């Protein structure tokens, strides 16, 4: 049995955007002392060009971005959503 731990964040706000999401995920990683790279990512739930992978030692440990308006409307929500998820077990590698 292998248990994985994730740190997840989601914000719904009229002013939420990709830059804010990147800044928040950067702060978490920087404060943890993790050395990481950011790479473009395509994901159907996110706006094209507003999603990125978090990479540590050439392994994707998470992602962040701005949720696609179509996804937002499918849940009958009205405001922009930003989110990130990071596999906490892989911090500081």
Alpha helices in the chain (DSSP H): 18-32, 69-74
Total tally of structural domains belonging to the chain = 1
Query: Does residue 54 form part of some domain?
Result: yes
Q: Is 20 contained in some domain? A: yes
Is the residue at 19 inside a domain?
A: yes
1 located within any domain: no
pLDDT at 32: 87
The range of the structural domain enclosing residue 47 comes to 6-90
pLDDT truncated to tens, each residue of the chain (93 aa)? 888 889 999 999 999 999 999 999 999 999 988 899 999 999 999 999 999 999 999 999 999 999 999 999 999 999 999 999 999 876 655
Q: What is the pLDDT of residue 90?
A: 66
Maximum Cα interatomic distance, the chain, rounded to a whole number of Å? 41
64 assigned to some structural domain? yes
Within a domain: residue 86? yes
Q: What is the pLDDT of residue 45?
A: 93
Question: What is the domain-level CATH number for residue 58?
Answer: 3.30.930.10
Quote the CA–CA distance of 20 and 9 in Å, as a whole number: 12
Q: pTM, whole model, 2 decimals?
A: 0.88
């Amino acid at each position: 049995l292998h248990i994985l731990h994730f740190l997840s964040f989601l914000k719904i706000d009229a002013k939420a955007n990709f830059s804010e999401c990147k800044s928040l995920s950067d702060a978490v990683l920087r404060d943890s002392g993790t050395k990481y790279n950011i790479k473009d990512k395509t994901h159907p739930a996110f706006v094209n060009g507003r999603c990125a992978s978090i990479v540590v030692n050439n392994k994707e440990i998470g992602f962040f971005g701005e949720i696609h308006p179509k996804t937002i409307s499918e849940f009958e929500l009205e405001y922009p959503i930003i989110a990130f998820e990071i596999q906490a077990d892989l911090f500081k590698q």
